[in-house]
Structure 1
């Protein structure tokens, strides 16, 4: 227990979830929270998806929690939906998962490991970053393109392209030009319907010959990355008090 607190500090992991079937993503997010909890012994790490009615509100219970957005960008859900759901509470907001400055290095290590396991040379290989994109605004695509630029700077010998599920260039379009030594890396926090269904379907349509990797949220080291982000957020100012 930290000297300045008589009880554990609270962190709440939140993600979009799946409105048509809320329980599976809720269970998965709870498992992620348990892994983060291992790195934060003086905290209580809770979880709630936005798709499960009332779960986020029930998880809050008191002011002062750190909210961790398990999202890839500061888009509609993190910028509009989440603050709306938290109205009336005072909290601290951590950096969304996809914007964490430590994530690119973790990703580069995973790419190098995947290429090495297949006996592929970096300069002769390719990575397709498959992201969500959005018809609501540019933030999702901008986050993916910024992430891709960072990866290119760290692995200049690797050919890296981007494709999107919900906007152009679509994943199938981007995948058509990929060779046999290609990896498709989903720029997603969790394995939802887009990753399980839409991306494989797009790759099949493009006759993609490479391999599909796990989502970024499943990379080794992610739980520690999230714990570090929560601790950084704990040092920031609380959100403004609710209006009287």
Structure 2
């Protein structure tokens, strides 16, 4: 008798004003994870697309895994996601931003860009652009903790934090960094914050460095998520 496939649902916030593009991107991401876990059934859904989460969660077996593609364990992960999953017996894993391998992945990514540019690490700056929140401290704390983890792995690089919704704001953090600088958005998906808010703040600050896609778009990330799921079984 064949064993039933292991199951996981990858969940992200998405973009309420335009939910379809993030929904499609996340589905493609889930396909990449599934390619690394051929005996698994991998689904995906964003909170922003109406009924998507409920539809994708429907029919999952008891104990199926839910992987939150979020950088903090705030309101959406702690309250909204469990409420919308209802009484289904699913295992919600820690969010992406808390995965122990993520700082190593990011450090490798950043170091590769610096080396490609021919920059000496001691003369460079990294601007970690996070969300922050006027309603609670978990988003800012997540960014700060991640910056500290990066500093342990990249001790020669000047790491600066900038936030969208609270101090230190990206506009202030991005000023006077020169040309040997990189901005890495500490976000899972490329929504309005990464397409508009962060670029607008960088432009206003006169930022002259490299602008990377959000960390969730890193090429090595599907493998990280696949390992995270596999290690939970």
TM over 0.5: yes
- SS of 2:36's equivalent in the other structure is coil
CA displacement at 1:177 relative to structure 2: 3.1
Question: Which aligned pairs between 1:184-195 and structure 2 lie closer than 5 A?
Answer: 184-195=183-194
Query: Which segments of 5 or more consecutive residues in structure 2 lack a partner in the other structure?
Result: none
Mapped to 2, the partners of 1:74 and 1:68 lie a distance apart of 12
Computed over aligned residues only, the root mean square deviation of the Cα atoms, in angstroms, reads 1.2
Query: Which residue of 2 is the match for residue 11 of structure 1?
Result: 8
Distance 2:15 2:111 in 1: 32
Q: Which residue of 2 aligns with 1:135?
A: 134
Q: Is the 8 Å Cα contact of residues 92 and 233 (structure 1) preserved in structure 2? A: no
> Which digits, 9 at most, give the CA deviation of each residue in 1:104-131, with x for residues without a partner?
1111111111011111110000000000
Deviation at 1:219, TM superposition (A): 1.3
- After the TM superposition, which segments of 4 or more aligned residues of structure 1 sit over 4 Å from their partners? none
The alignment status of 1:221 with 2:191, answered yes or no, reads no
Name 2:197's counterpart in structure 1. Answer: 198
Partner of 1:239: none
Q: Alpha-carbon deviation of 1:78?
A: 0.2
CA distance, structure 2, for counterparts of residue 183 and residue 205 of structure 1: 16
Measured against aligned partners, the alpha-carbon deviations of 1:43-101 in whole angstroms (never above 9, x if no partner) come to 10000101111111111123322001000010110001001101210011122111110
TM-fit CA distance, 1:42: 1.0
- Report the Cα distance in structure 1 between the residues aligned to 2:223 and 2:195, rounded to whole angstroms: 25
Corresponding residue number in structure 2 for 1:238: none
Return 5+ residue gaps in structure 1 as ranges.
Answer: 235-244
Matched-pair contact (CA < 8 Å) for 1:171–1:203 = yes
1:1-244 correspondence runs (5 A): 6-60=3-57, 61-62=59-60, 63-234=62-233
Q: 1:160: Cα distance to partner? A: 0.4
Q: How many residues align?
A: 231
Structure 2 length as normaliser, TM-score? 0.96
Q: Are the counterparts in 2 of residues 130 and 184 from structure 1 also a CA contact under 8 Å? A: yes
